[in-house]
């Protein structure tokens, strides 16, 4: 069973010394544009805080599940939410389930 998503949180303003507040352990995350709600990134991770921090600082190793290159974006326009899991394996399974539900929904409305 997939746990409940956290509340949406805006990315911190690093220049102001704000810190990213995210779970340290494994789980899945979703990042979207605040202005449009468009999905920016979705993935499972061993450490949610590390993955979200890498994304914030432009890590080339983190790619969207939806492929393609992302356009440059200002972090204040992004927000994220997470689901914590006990292990990375559980995080991968949870991510696959979320993707499966999205695909089923999209095919039903098409």
Q: Answer whether residue 7 shows pLDDT above 70.
A: yes
Location of structure tokens 């440059």:
72
**CA-CA distances (angstroms) from residue 83 to 31, 35, 40, 62?**
12, 23, 17, 18
DSSP designation for 75: G
Give me the pLDDT at residue 8, please: 96
What confidence category does residue 110 fall into, taking pLDDT thresholds of 50, 70 and 90? low
Instruction: List pLDDT tens digits, range 30-85.
Output: 999 999 999 889 999 999 999 998 886 654 444 444 455 444 444 568 899 999 99
Task: Report d(CA 4, CA 93) in Å as an integer.
Answer: 15
CATH of domain 9-109: 3.40.1440.10
| Burial of residue 38 (number of CB atoms within 10 Å: 0-12, 13-18, 19+) | exposed
Handedness of CA 44, 46, 52, 58 (dihedral sign): negative
pLDDT of amino acid 63: 43
* Domain ranges (residues) in the chain: 9-109
């Amino acid at each position: 069973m997939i746990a409940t998503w956290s509340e949406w949180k805006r990315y911190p303003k690093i220049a102001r010394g704000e810190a990213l507040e995210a779970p340290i352990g494994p789980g899945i995350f979703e990042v979207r544009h605040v202005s449009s709600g468009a999905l920016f990134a979705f993935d499972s991770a061993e450490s949610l805080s590390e993955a979200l921090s890498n994304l914030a600082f432009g890590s080339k190793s983190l790619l969207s599940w939806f492929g393609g290159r992302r356009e440059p974006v200002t972090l204040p326009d992004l927000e994220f939410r997470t689901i914590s899991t006990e292990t990375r394996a559980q995080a991968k399974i949870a991510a696959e389930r979320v993707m499966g539900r999205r695909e089923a929904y999209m095919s039903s409305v098409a």
